Amino acid sequence: MWKLTPFLLFGCIVLTMVSCEKEKSLDTLGHHPGTAGAGSEIGTWTFLSMNAVTNVTISYTSGADKIMTVTTSDYTSTDNAGTITFDGKNITTAGVTYAVDGLATTKFYTNNVLENTFEFPFGGIIPATNSTVPYQKIGRDSLHFSSDVLTGIAPNGAPITVPTGYKLKFEGDKMMITMVYNDTKLQVVSGITQRFTSHAVTTATLQKQ
């Protein structure tokens, strides 16, 4: 299992690399149940878990055939620890750490006909992290970080950092922080132009102390 040092904060996990980009966007629309804007992020929270649902599609043409691979994963972190404090201007992490032990599924298609399917494990460890980063509250339920503050773990163990926007939702004493990531890029591999389309929804769950 890979061991990575995060850039800042508690991280998000996405199943894609972000080089040779054509288009990239970050959407702050949440996809988890709860009441948006019903609480405040201010205070100290215990880090409970990080969940990620990912999809990466690679497509290209080979002769008369249209080739496509679709890789998906859905996992929740383990060995979670640490606290995260919001004071209205800065977010401070103290000892935030977690592990990922995920399983990805790849399906191969030729002319939209499924040819093969296989699974492969991947994982990583975010070591205990201490950091302070400024943030901006937008409306009642969105946070924005203007700099690259999150580390992601791809199946090959490579870290990913991106500018981020979050949607907040509250359930009792818990706060869910969700980010939706979309990326489309063209990349030439062995002389063949391939289109990479990536989508990930990551949600950190925190509990008020």
Mean pLDDT of 102-117: 94
Average pLDDT, the chain: 77
> What does the pLDDT read at residue 163?
56
Long-range contacts formed by 66-69: CB under 8 A, 24+ apart: 66/110, 66/111, 66/112, 67/108, 67/109, 67/110, 68/108, 68/109, 68/112, 69/106, 69/107, 69/108, 69/109
> What does the pLDDT read at residue 38?
52
Euclidean distance between CA atoms 195 and 185, whole angstroms: 6
Q: What is the pLDDT of residues 35-88, one digit of tens each?
A: 444 579 999 999 999 888 888 999 999 999 999 999 999 989 999 999 999 999
- 164: domain range? 2-208
Q: Give 110 or 17, the one with higher predicted confidence.
A: 110
Nearest 5°: CA angle at 13, between 12 and 19?
Answer: 100
| Domain count of the fold of the chain | 1
